[in-house]
Structure 1
């Protein structure tokens, strides 16, 4: 996936799951790792990163 597709997927995931989107992406990474699909694992890790950037820094 290119950067635009990654951002679009992250945005859709966030719209669908809100604060749980990052957990959903992490679950997808685990499932794909178990299946051995390295290409999709990398895409989903990039989606995770995009979601983290969308969330912004953690403020304590």
Structure 2
């Protein structure tokens, strides 16, 4: 999956799941890994990283 596709999926996942999108991407990565779909799991980890980089910093 290229960077444009990752960005597209990250945006769609964030619109669908809001603040829980990062957790959802991690869950999907784990499921793919358990099923032996390592390439797909890496894509989901990349999507998770893209979501994380878009989020504003947490305030304390």
State the TM-score bracket (shorter-chain normalisation). over 0.9
In the TM superposition, residue 37 of structure 1 has moved relative to its aligned partner by 0.6
User: What TM-score does the superposition give when structure 1 sets the normalisation length?
Assistant: 0.93
How many residues of Structure 1 are paired with residues of Structure 2 in the alignment?
Answer: 60
2-side partners of 1:59 and 1:49: how far apart?
Answer: 20
User: What TM-score does the superposition give when structure 2 sets the normalisation length?
Assistant: 0.93
Q: Secondary structure of 1:57's partner?
A: coil
In the TM superposition, residue 9 of structure 1 has moved relative to its aligned partner by 0.1
State how 1:35-46 maps to structure 2 within 5 Å.
35-46=35-46
Q: For structure 1, list consecutive stretches of 5 or more residues without a partner in the other structure.
A: none
The runs of 4+ residues in structure 1 deviating greater than 4 Å are none
State how 1:1-60 maps to structure 2 within 5 Å.
1-60=1-60
Residue by residue over 1:21-49, the C-alpha shift from the partner in whole angstroms, topping out at 9 and shown as x without a partner, is 01110110110010011110110110000
Q: For structure 2, list consecutive stretches of 5 or more residues without a partner in the other structure.
A: none
